[in-house]
C-alpha cells in the first residue's frame, strides 16, 4: 500500500466517523464550485467477518450505508461512504475528501482532520477506560494444580 | 480509471431512469413513433438520448459492446461508474450494443436469442444524427394501425442485414436515438418500401 493511500484511508475514516461534528465546517467546505456526480444515496452493505480473525468468512449482517461523490470545479472528485442514513454527513465528507486531495491538503488536515481525530481519540479512550473498569478476574476457575 | 473524467448523470436517479425506461417501452410498443426523452446532459461522443438509454437500461448484469467510435476513456469511465456494466470485446457475448450509423451495414455476431429464450437476444442502441431525412419506408406489424411512414437515415444495407437475422421469434430489437428523442424498431415490425417510392 502506498503512503498516499494510507493517508487517504486515515482521513476518510476520520470523516466517516465524524457524524454531526462535520457540520461545523459546512460553510467552509461548501465555499467552492462543485456538483454532485452521485447525489447522496442510502443503501445496504453486507458486513462479513471471521471468527477470531481466521477461518471462513461468515455473513455478520447488513448495515445501512450512505454514499456520495462530488466533483469540484477543477475536476477533482471526492468520495464518501458513511454508516447510517445521514445524507448531509455523506455530502460533507465527500467534499472534505475532494478538498484534501488538492494543493491545500496541509490546511485541511490541520483545520478539519486533526481536531476531529483528537475528538474521536478522546471518545475512544474514555470508552476504553469505562470498559476496563468493568473487567472481572476469574480466580476460582483455575483447576487441576494438585 | 481516471476520476476526473466523471460527470453527473440523471438529476433524480430513480425517477429519471424510470421516465426513460417508460419512453423506451413506448418506443417498442409503438414502432416508428418518435418518443421525446427528458433532457440529459450529453456525454461526448454520446448524444443525450443514447446516454439516457444507457443510464436507464444498463447495470451490472448487462454486458455492453461499444462501437469503436464510442469507445473512449470518458464513456468507459462514466458507464463503469454510473451503470457498472461490463464492457465486452466480442459481439457474441453482448446483451446490449451501442452502435453508430457506420456499424449498421454489418450486424454479424450479435446474439439473436434462442428458440427457447428469444428474449436473450442483443438489443442494439443506434445513435443517429437525426431521426428523419432518410428514405421513407412503410412499417407495419404489432403496435401499428395499418401502416406507418418512417424515414430513418440509415443505409439500405441495414435493412438486408436486419432481415437476414429476423427468424421469428429470434431477431434483433433496435432503438434509434438522436439528440433527445427515440424510435423503437422491434423484431416484429415488417418493413416495406414506401408506396410513394414505388409509384
> Worst-scoring range by mean pLDDT, A9-18, A19-28, A51-60, B164-173?
A51-60
Domain membership flag for residue A128: no
Report the percent of chain B where pLDDT is more than 90: 84
The complex's ipTM? 0.72
Domain membership flag for residue A140: no
Mean per-residue pLDDT of chain A: 91
Instruction: Identify all chain A residues contacting B74, using CB atoms and an 8 Å cutoff.
Output: none
Q: How far apart are CA A69 and CA A8, in angstroms?
A: 15
Domain membership flag for residue A70: yes
- pLDDT tens by residue, B13-59: 899 999 999 999 999 999 999 999 999 988 989 999 999 999 999 99
What domains, with CATH codes, occur in chain B? 3-130+155-191 (3.40.50.11310)
A18 φψ region: left (φ > 0), alpha (ψ -120 to 50), beta (else)? alpha
Contact by Cβ (8 Å): B46, B77: no
- Per-residue cell: A66: 450512505
Shortest distance between the Cα of A98 and any Cα of chain B, in A, equals 11
Domain membership flag for residue A136: no
Domain membership flag for residue A16: yes
Domain count, chain A: 1
Mean per-residue pLDDT of chain B: 92
Domain membership flag for residue A127: no
Q: How far apart are CA B122 and CA B131, in angstroms?
A: 22
In this prediction, residue B53 carries a pLDDT of 96
For residue A61, the cross-strand partners are A47
Q: What is the mean pLDDT of residues A29-49?
A: 93
Contact by Cβ (8 Å): B107, B162: yes
Contact by Cβ (8 Å): A37, A70: yes
A37 and B4 within 8 Å at the Cβ level: the answer is: no
Domain membership flag for residue A132: no
Residue of B nearest to A75 (CA): B4
B6 and A35 within 8 Å at the Cβ level: the answer is: no
Domain membership flag for residue A105: yes
Instruction: Identify all chain B residues contacting A36, using CB atoms and an 8 Å cutoff.
Output: 8
Domain that holds residue A93: 3-119
B14 contact A CB<8A: no
Contact by Cβ (8 Å): B185, B163: no
Question: In Å, how far from its chain's centre is CA A87?
Answer: 14
Amino acid at each position: 500500500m502506498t503512503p498516499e493511500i494510507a493517508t487517504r484511508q486515515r482521513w476518510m475514516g476520520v470523516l466517516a466517523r465524524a457524524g454531526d461534528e462535520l457540520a461545523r465546517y459546512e460553510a467552509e467546505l461548501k465555499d467552492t464550485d462543485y456538483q454532485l456526480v452521485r447525489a447522496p444515496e442510502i443503501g445496504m452493505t453486507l458486513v462479513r467477518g471471521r471468527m477470531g480473525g481466521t477461518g471462513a468468512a461468515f455473513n455478520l449482517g447488513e448495515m445501512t450505508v450512505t454514499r456520495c461523490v462530488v466533483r469540484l470545479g477543477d475536476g477533482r472528485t471526492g468520495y464518501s461512504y458513511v454508516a447510517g442514513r445521514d445524507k448531509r454527513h455523506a455530502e460533507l465528507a465527500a467534499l472534505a475528501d475532494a478538498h484534501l486531495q488538492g494543493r491545500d491538503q496541509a490546511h485541511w488536515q490541520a483545520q478539519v482532520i486533526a481536531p476531529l481525530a483528537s475528538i474521536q481519540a478522546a471518545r475512544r479512550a474514555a470508552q476504553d477506560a469505562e470498559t476496563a473498569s468493568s473487567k472481572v478476574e476469574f480466580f476460582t476457575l483455575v483447576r487441576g494444580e494438585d | 480509471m481516471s476520476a476526473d473524467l466523471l460527470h453527473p448523470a440523471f438529476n433524480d436517479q430513480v425517477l429519471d431512469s424510470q421516465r426513460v425506461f417508460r419512453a423506451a417501452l413506448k418506443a417498442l410498443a409503438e414502432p416508428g413513433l418518435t418518443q421525446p426523452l427528458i433532457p440529459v446532459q450529453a456525454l461526448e461522443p454520446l448524444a443525450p438520448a443514447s446516454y439516457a438509454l444507457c443510464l436507464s437500461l444498463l447495470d451490472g448484469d448487462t454486458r455492453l459492446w461499444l462501437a469503436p467510435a464510442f469507445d473512449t476513456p470518458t464513456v468507459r469511465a462514466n458507464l463503469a461508474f454510473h451503470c457498472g456494466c461490463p464492457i465486452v470485446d466480442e459481439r457474441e457475448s453482448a446483451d446490449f450494443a451501442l452502435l453508430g450509423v457506420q456499424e449498421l451495414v454489418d450486424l454479424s455476431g450479435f446474439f439473436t436469442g434462442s428458440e427457447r429464450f428469444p428474449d436473450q437476444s442483443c438489443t442494439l442502441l443506434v445513435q443517429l444524427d437525426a431521426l428523419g431525412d432518410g428514405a421513407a419506408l412503410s412499417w407495419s406489424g404489432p403496435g401499428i394501425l395499418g401502416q406507418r411512414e418512417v424515414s430513418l437515415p440509415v443505409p439500405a444495407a441495414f435493412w438486408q442485414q436486419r432481415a437476414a437475422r429476423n427468424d421469428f421469434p429470434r431477431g434483433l430489437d433496435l432503438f434509434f436515438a438522436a439528440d433527445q428523442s427515440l424510435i423503437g424498431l422491434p423484431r416484429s415490425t415488417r418493413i416495406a418500401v414506401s408506396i410513394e417510392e414505388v409509384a
